[in-house]
Structure 1
């Protein structure tokens, strides 16, 4: 429709304004992110029996791959569109702002959980909660290690995902600028960084007194982050449904089970020895090649099971998990804290089928409540 404006003389047409078409968000992205948040919570609760049945127990990849891959896809929507719309300066500003937010979220999570461990004291078995997360060195020398914490030279294992995420985000302007030259260029950079991680270079130190690296090497894990990123950008073609590819993906998922399922390996030691012989291909720190292959096969199966463009994703349960997925960073941070609190409570009450079910369901409820609360605040209803 023409847009009219009044002038002293008359009404004149100044331009033809076409409405901006908002890109439809793929429902599969947020739904599976929400599922991933629940799985990550279960995995983080200490000694949780439910963790024996999460996907990580039956394959090489786990919810970490889901989180990182889909974070890459979400970043393509948020940051890629910023670059397309407003250019490189806006992209750099947007990335810096996000890294700044995640940095302080990382510091806050550490302070809250470390405080929780101190207040909790000892387990009923006499062990220190502080020691359970290897925080004793920090308590002994908080002055020096506080500097290490702020400069990311001190990254205890439980607190390593967000630092990895920050480094991967910092690589984004390079990857986007490289993609403007040719799509092969960022793919080559991704491959070179991943190969460097496999041979131990560059390596980021996790503590000042040793050579222990970050548990999640960002230069290895960027491979799956930017695979999701460029798939969502359309630079990489999304694989369409093909019965042969589906059969291959299902076969990969099934074949890997004996090499990952510990209970199965206890009965058949051959698979345990075989799994040990391929550890360099399933290494979680460096993101081994078989983790990538397994996750992409699992992803292909899951994406096509929910129908074209997620057409089968309906109902209240899906809607709730979608909201959790949309607020995944808030859900993830909350889950890290809640998981430790739940572990402490279970130590006091005892781990039975009933208490663990109640604890896990309570944790799910906290994540859902957090997601809805954050969504409400981000909508700024007070401005209406």
Structure 2
């Protein structure tokens, strides 16, 4: 495996973090330009796929260099860090939501965030928090990543050597899970909003893409319009975009949508990663990779800001989770004025960018050699 960092991965991971923040602020106008408005999938698919890509790329190198035991130890150590961050992040989020709720009279933000379980039964809520069973709104992606990363040592050696076998096994589990109702338990006899038994497929596909991307292969000299796979993927992306945009006008959608197609598409489950969502993301990822094969465009100043956020995805994600209810509070206190909604959305992204810049500066500062004194 090559050690050169692919800044395109950082860019799209940073872009996904921006989309996640905007999508989590209710009535945010900039939330109307995120991925979920133009296709069946959204930023969650980007986040999980690139998490698998980055994890296999990083720990696959450690596996080859230092052996399986060291790779397992480092994976589990990272998983523990994520678990501790999840506990502290949830505590901070509850504090912010309770604070925001005391300043907003027209809505119950505690109820909207799914935190009444902590009020009605705090002791059980603390236990559920430690068991990853209590996950208020905004907190679902991190527990999913914790579970997926914790399971990586089980498949990493085979994934590095025979990725197709792991993908086949993962696909089998994905197809069987909805039929047998496989999911993890959550509070009040519920289940995880992101079912890790099916979302693991996207994580594994990301890892397989990392393995495949490191292997030398002959470039396809045909034009994109003469590549059947690209054309098929592009047509599906356009089809999904048209269907999704039509949801804004239910009367028109219901009038033009054939019954057979409606029965085939709906319901589009996010919990069980509906096949049409999965296929949309894979098609979109393939089209994007074909249209942006090089890396020179990541040197653009705006792209570099997203790349920087993507390099520190855990810290930026946590900040976005904490900023979303604060932005919602400010918007609600100003009666959801359009200008204030735009302002809070842009300020939030600006603060995320500043955190990325600080983390990048601090990393360079700690890595710079200390000059020897005479």
TM-score over 0.5 for the alignment? yes
Match of 1:29 among 9, 13, 17: 9
Instruction: Name the counterpart of 2:241.
Output: 257
Measured in 1, the distance between the counterparts of 2:256 and 2:69 equals: 52
Higher CA-based Rg: 1
Deviates more, 1:122-131 or 1:107-116: 122-131
Residues 1:362 and 2:347 are matched in the alignment: yes
Q: Residue 268 of structure 1 aligns to a residue in which SS? A: helix
Give the equivalent residue in structure 1 for 2:359.
Answer: 374
Aligned-pair distance for 1:304?
2.5
1:104 equivalent to 2:88? Answer no
Aligned residues: 361
Contact 1:281 1:289 in 2 (8 A): no
Partner of residue 232 from structure 2, selected from 237, 241, 248: 248
The counterpart of 1:148, out of the listed 125, 128, 151, is 128
Question: After the TM superposition, which segments of 4 or more aligned residues of structure 1 sit over 6 Å from their partners?
Answer: 235-240
Indicate the SS of the match to 1:331. Answer: helix
Q: Distance in 2 between matches of 1:158 and 1:225?
A: 20
Deviation (angstroms), 1:156: 3.0
TM-aligned CA deviation for residue 268 of structure 1: 2.7
Per the normalisation by structure 1, the TM-score is 0.86
Structure 1 residue aligned with 2:199: 221
Deviation for aligned residue 1:267: 2.7
Using the size of structure 2 for normalisation, the TM-score is 0.89
The Cα of 1:266 is off from its aligned counterpart by 3.9
The equivalent of 1:11 in structure 2 is none
Q: Distance in 1 between matches of 2:58 and 2:44?
A: 21
Question: Does residue 300 of the first structure (1) align with residue 278 of the second (2)?
Answer: no
Range with bigger deviation, 119-128 or 94-103: 119-128
Q: Quote how far apart the aligned CAs of 1:183 are.
A: 3.2
SS of residue in 1 equivalent to 2:294 = helix
- Supply the distance in 2 between the matched residues of 1:273 and 1:327 (Cα, whole angstroms): 45
CA contact (8 A) 1:164 1:216 kept: yes
Root mean square deviation of aligned Cα: 2.5
- Deviation of the 1:171 alpha carbon: 1.9
Runs of at least 5 residues in structure 2 that lack an aligned partner in the other structure: none
What is the correspondence of 1:249-288 to structure 2 with a 5 Å cutoff?
A: 249-261=233-245, 262-270=247-255, 277-278=263-264, 282-288=268-274
Paired residue secondary structure (1:283): coil
Compared CA separation, residues 280 and 157, structure 1 to 2 (3 A): farther
